[in-house]
Structure 1
């Protein structure tokens, strides 16, 4: 479901809706196997979902959207390092299958975690407005041209998850987002998002300080 804000007649319009995404990211450089993502997904989904209930919302339209859709955006940092330590490159196609496996695992475990949370606390109030409510999953909507360059099969039980989502719903109407992660990647000395490093050393500045990150290991 895309983020589509509804227009506001005025700043206090309670019928308007402002789309918010509460963000986090997996540091792929800190894991050894994709199996570790299952527990991390559970922690991320539960922590961010709880945050929705006690954070402050400056105007009613923001709270209305957050409470109705409970949107999360969980992405990655250090993807370049993840490829490098697995001996893969952006440039020669060797990373294609690993990329498929990585993001299949992320999407599956996030959906599973949100589905389990829905069993405990209920689906988000506007779940029926999502394509997930119709049983449509990312494995159904990806661009099929990718099949020409990636021959990796699916590795998880998507059909069982599909039926569970149709039965119990999802706690969150969105779960994944590939954000730039500029600030969080600096704190972690990680490459940002899914982007490759642009040099052996990158220097970035904020209003408070400069950050120099070494990439020689990549």
Structure 2
């Protein structure tokens, strides 16, 4: 009988921390595998196709940022990045890498398990197909326009899916932040503006002349057919 539990890959070079985190995740009903060597991660992801990755930034042989960028070339698997510095989280967000979440050491293992559950639950949400030419598949975080795939980062996908579900309603930057990031971190307004700019560009490339995401001066953004 095949094991249907969700599979979490824990990439952490502190053996004690990795063992505790895997223990908590398994107790919560997940399958786990841990890696300490950064050079092994990409091939492991290709071979085992985890449902979620917890990825430490500081690893031997290859750092977490390079690993993340390589993974994104072939997979949209959810990634939670871990770092020992609060300011590093701000820098990562500024780089607009599109990770699903960020955690700072020392962290609560129970909280990490909750975040994992929330991300996987969100990704398992039902697919909906709008009638305006866009097809948004929430399970795979894929957006198609007339059978053409539009490559979006997780943050861009979340913005588009949220605004489309609530078409014509105007949302402030703060409201969009609350729906993109699972915690209550403070993110600069420019981060949302940058995500919106990139999202508009990608939509326009797939559907020339379209302007799905509208700016409402002094208020925020909305989806408009």
TM-score scaled to structure 2, two decimals? 0.26
More strand by share: 2
TM-score relative to the length of structure 1 = 0.26
Higher relative contact order (CA 8 A, sep 6+): 1
Q: Which has the larger radius of gyration?
A: 1
